[in-house]
Amino acid sequence: MSAVIEEATRIARQFEYSPEEVQRGVKEYIREVEEGLSEEGTTLSQIPTFVTSVPNGTEKGLYLAVDLGGTNFRVCSIDLHGNHTFSLTQSKIMIPREMMTSGSAKELFLFLARQIESFLRIHHNEHFEAHLKRKIAGTAREEDLFDLGFTFSFPVRQLGINKGTLIRWTKGFDIPDAVGQDVCALLQEAIDELNLPVRVAALVNDTVGTLMARSYTSPGETGTFLGAIFGTGTNGAYVEKLNKITKMAKIEHSDYDKSTGEMIINAEWGSFDNHLSVLPTTEYDRQLDADSNNPGIQMFEKRVSGMFLGEILRLVLLDLHKSQGLFKPASGSDVFIPESSSLYRQWGIDTSLLSIVEADKSKDLEQVKSALKDHLKVERASENDCKAVQTVVHAIGKRAARLAAVPIAATLISTGKLKEELVDIGVDGSLVEFYPNFEGYLREAMREVPEVGEAGDKKVRIGISKDGSGVGAALIALVASKEGAKPQL
């Protein structure tokens, strides 16, 4: 065996995540769940979403959804057909860079409201014009308003289904006068200023949207229990019994429908075990964390999500390049990897490279060779180099998928959900959708947890949930509009 393959195999072993470690992780996750349900400021936030029911696929109606998830703003209308299907119309606009940092809250939200206005004029002009005429005549009616679900992917302290104050900006935004304000109220004020027939009915987290969208489209009568995202980031939301969310008693000024006895909880599981009591750690994990913009935070996410797997791989390949001559000709003279290669740049490797490398089952590893050329400018990588890269990629990807099993298995156990005949889980994100055998490795690790085992695994149905921030947000707006008609208990 060549030295480079030998060293790659040694490094790959560091990424092995044993059944015993999976079981330890599940125990710790259950402990953090209980802590997060009873108090604020815990490692696992367990955020109450104030959404108290999931759809069953028979819901009908036309709803709006908007999504401010970063540099783009998306506006959609979703027509729910009442038979598990829907149709969606959408538009997307980039937020001007200067508005993200130098504007005021009012400017930003007026800009968003104008995008909603132009969307309505293009796609629902008849309804829009009729509302304006009635408004002028003083005969405008509540039932003419579109209910809107607002997906807002920034840290928020949620106080109701359509109330939440901004904790801090992330993703390049910095508008100080919005911090501490209710983002739904800010959007509603801007909408009202433009006389739009729209009511901000719900504040939505994208993971909760994934759960709702899956519950609407999933086959059969079973409502979806858990929504999980394994993409650029990772997070999960699930249905919890209200009597277990004891911290609800301490949340002031909150209102919600108590009649279902349940509420969806946004786990924010990317921060699971930030103190590293059970998570596996290699020197490469430590280096990635130290060089990140938030050291010591989101430690689970840094081992599982697409944003970080490419960087872990880059650090390993750089190590192999320096210590074992990976990507260097046998003579050791000219290095055929240019200085401009993204191998030398932080975050230089995209996780799509891992998917391509993992998928190549050919003898000559031609796909690996061409992927290394495309992504890293490595010309004519040797067969040994390709095998070494594949060995490391396999280890990093498999560990991520096995880790992904921990919060899912723990949530199934802590809720007693495995007593039921069928448990439906909706998943979204590039890793779970495109990384070869991600679900297979995840399920293998779940079976290794005694309380789940083969029998429990058979009860769990996992399905891709598309467009959670669109159709999911619309469905939460629907739940909210129904709740608005109910007396609060």
Active site (catalytic) residues: 153, 168, 206
Instruction: Give the closest residue to 245 by CA, choosing from 483, 50, 477.
Output: 50
Residue pointed to by tokens 């996410």: 301
Cα–Cα dist 66/79, whole Å:
14
Q: Which of 311, 239, 228, 312 is nearest to 270 (CA)?
A: 228
At which residue do the structure tokens 């796909």 appear?
A: 367
**Parallel, antiparallel, or unpaired: how do β-strands 156-160 and 72-81 relate?**
unpaired
**DSSP, res 223:** P
Question: Distance between CA 229 and CA 246 in Å, rounded?
Answer: 26
Residue with tokens 């860079």: 97
Beta-sheet strands, E only, within 257-321: 262-266
Which whole-number Å values give the CA distances from 10 to 3, 5, 279, 391, 461, in the listed order? Answer: 11, 9, 20, 10, 36
Tell me, what amino acid is at 219? P
The residue count for the chain:
489
60 by DSSP, 3-state: which?
Answer: strand
Q: From CA 131, how far away is CA 385, in angstroms rounded?
A: 66
Q: Determine how many CB atoms are found less than 10 A away from the CB of residue 377.
A: 16
Q: Which of 14, 21, 20, 25 is nearest to 396 (CA)?
A: 14
